[in-house]
Copies of this chain bind each other. A is one copy, B any other.
Amino acid sequence: MQALPEQVTIKEVGPRDGLQNESVEVLTADKIAWIDQLSRTGLSYIEFSSFVHPKWIPQLKDAKQVALGIDRNPDITYAALVPNQKGLEGALETGVDEVSVFMSASETHNKKNINKSIEETYPVLKPVIEEAKNAGKTVRGYVSTVFGCPYEGDISAEQVIDVSSRLFDLGIDELSLGDTIGVANPLQVDRTLTEIRSQLPFDQLAMHFHNTRGMALANVLVSLEHGITTFDASVGGLGGCPYAKGATGNLATDDLIHMLHEMNIQTGVDLEKLTEAGLFIQSKLDKYLPSHQMQMCTKERV
């Protein structure tokens, strides 16, 4: 095994990427209470909602109320996803610290997801990124289907590098490489990171794994061996991709932190407090959250 970093930054995406795929409507007050709980765990980054049109993600229609309702800890970056300038305006009104823009490395997935070709997407994101930067915000870019697309199958590293480079050219500060449908395997992660190492600013990369096939922590391990130190995760493994049957959702923040701490890699997060936050949001849903940590703490599961 290669030497591993001593410290890792966790970006909690549960309130956005987790909740957006949950069918049970969570009350705005519960979201606020939950995010406030997350803010007291030691996390340094929380993506709290998405300013997309409520038609697309009804669960997150209360982004503004959530943004204005939560207690903002000045040590934490509160980020929100924005699809376009209208979304950006909404986000800026609430004083977010960072905005996230998104697109897909797969032409078909991009079209299905945001109704535009990849080439048509850049002109939409360009003014969003510019205006956000002008407003003094940092901008994160998400590239999805990096390790596979539900429509196109394999995605080449060249395609990932091309889309990512364009986003960096547009001014993003960090790029999150997403395994949207949870198909990445450790060999593939190793090869992809080897290929992109010389092509993209490596210290501005984050990895975003899903645990659909149970390989997320193995993929994190390979990424750590490559020196990646930023990972997205969702507490309890909340969420999942609606296109993947049986998908068990995002990499669970709690399982990730448990593994990292066991390996003497610091995250600054209190696992016990984080677990309490996971149990809280679980109590607002009609299902058990899939993380191992949640399972250890939830009795009488079947």
Contact = CB atoms under 8 A, between A and B. Distances in A.
A157 to B, nearest CB: 16
Work out how many copies of this chain go into the complex. 2
A288 B183 CA distance: 22
A295 interface: yes
B248 A213 contact: no
Contacts of A259: 185-186, 213-215, 218
A187 B292 contact: no
Interface string A224-264: 01000000000000000000011010001001001100111
A266 to B, nearest CB: 13
A276 B66 CA distance: 46
Nearest to A212: B292
A287 B263 contact: no
Contacts of A211: 214, 292
Interface string A257-295: 011001110000000000000000000001110011101
A187 B263 contact: yes
B188 A262 contact: yes
Sorted nearest first, the 5 A-B pairs with minimum C-beta distance are: A246-B296, A185-B262, A187-B263, A214-B292, A218-B218
Given A211-B292, A246-B296, A246-B297, 7 more contacts: A213-B296, A214-B216, A214-B217, A215-B259, A217-B217, A221-B221, A246-B301
